[in-house]
Amino acid sequence: MAGVLDDAETGRVLAITAHPDDVDFAAAGTVARWTDAGIEVIYCLVTDGDAGGSDEDFPRDEMPALRRAEQVAAAKCVGVHDVRFLGHPDGRVEATLDLRRDLARVIRQVRPDRVLCPSPERNYDRIGIGHPDHRAVGSAALDAVYPDARNPFAFPELRERESLAAWTVREVWIAGGPDPNHYVDVTETFPRKLAALRAHESQTGHMADLAERLTVRLAAVAQRAGLPEGRLAEGFRVLDTA
């Protein structure tokens, strides 16, 4: 598809998400294809998912460490070994200047060719995709890509105190938005996506029908993409941001 950076020209991808498990539900099949192609993928999580889980008896103060560990384990299932946490409070994320600076910092540190992030828009088909934290992170991530990370005069403290030079991200992939324009066939990598999601035991342990639910959902995306019967796909809105 025109306008999409060739994986062979992509050295590094930074996946920015709000909560542990977001990247796995949205894009782990695609991430596995990227790492298979030799692309280095780094995860940056804005929160520790400390408001997550369904077991009311589990001590809340142990939730951040548990969810971090689950995300690190899930990342390994799809070939990702660098997972960074910004520690913002789960459920209260806003697209503030502080968050934009935090994300611009990570972009300048990682220097990715491609950024993956959630959509800042609501998706009226599935209310959960448009969680307020997802929308806030999507909005702040896009602002961090343009203009914050690339403008050397934005957040001058990043350059002056942390020696972080400006960096231009060439492409952004938005997951979970209302209008995908690019699809990735993840039939081959689906077992690893499933393993990654199962690593989020505190979130998915009670979902006996996880594999079936995912298969139905990804098969519908594949159908929308025009792929043959029996294929599974993940969908994205890809933006040229060079």
Residues at the interface with Zn ion (CB under 5 A):
18-19, 22
Q: Residue 56 CA to chain centroid, in angstroms?
A: 27
Cα dist. 122→68, 176, 193, 199, 216 in Å?
26, 9, 24, 27, 22
**Residue number, 19 or 150, with CB nearest to Zn ion:** 19
**Residue number, 129 or 194, with CB nearest to Zn ion:** 129
**Residue number, 19 or 182, with CB nearest to Zn ion:** 19
In whole angstroms, the minimum distance from the beta carbon of 221 to Zn ion comes to 18
CA pair distance 107, 144, nearest whole angstrom: 8
**Residue number, 19 or 200, with CB nearest to Zn ion:** 19
Nearest Cα neighbor of 90 from 145, 17, 141, 23 is: 17
CA pair distance 115, 117, nearest whole angstrom: 6
In whole angstroms, the minimum distance from the beta carbon of 55 to Zn ion comes to 18
Nearest Cα neighbor of 197 from 71, 19, 36 is: 71
Q: With beta carbons less than 8 A apart as the criterion, state whether 202 and 58 touch.
A: yes
**Residue number, 39 or 142, with CB nearest to Zn ion:** 142
In whole angstroms, the minimum distance from the beta carbon of 22 to Zn ion comes to 4
**C-beta nearest to Zn ion: residue:** 19
In whole angstroms, the minimum distance from the beta carbon of 134 to Zn ion comes to 6
DSSP 147: I
In whole angstroms, the minimum distance from the beta carbon of 137 to Zn ion comes to 9
DSSP assignments along 197-224, one per residue: HHH-HHHHTT-TTHHHHHHHHHHHHHHH
**Residue number, 117 or 222, with CB nearest to Zn ion:** 117
- If DSSP codes are grouped into helix, strand and coil, which group holds residue 43? strand
In whole angstroms, the minimum distance from the beta carbon of 80 to Zn ion comes to 17
CA pair distance 19, 22, nearest whole angstrom: 6
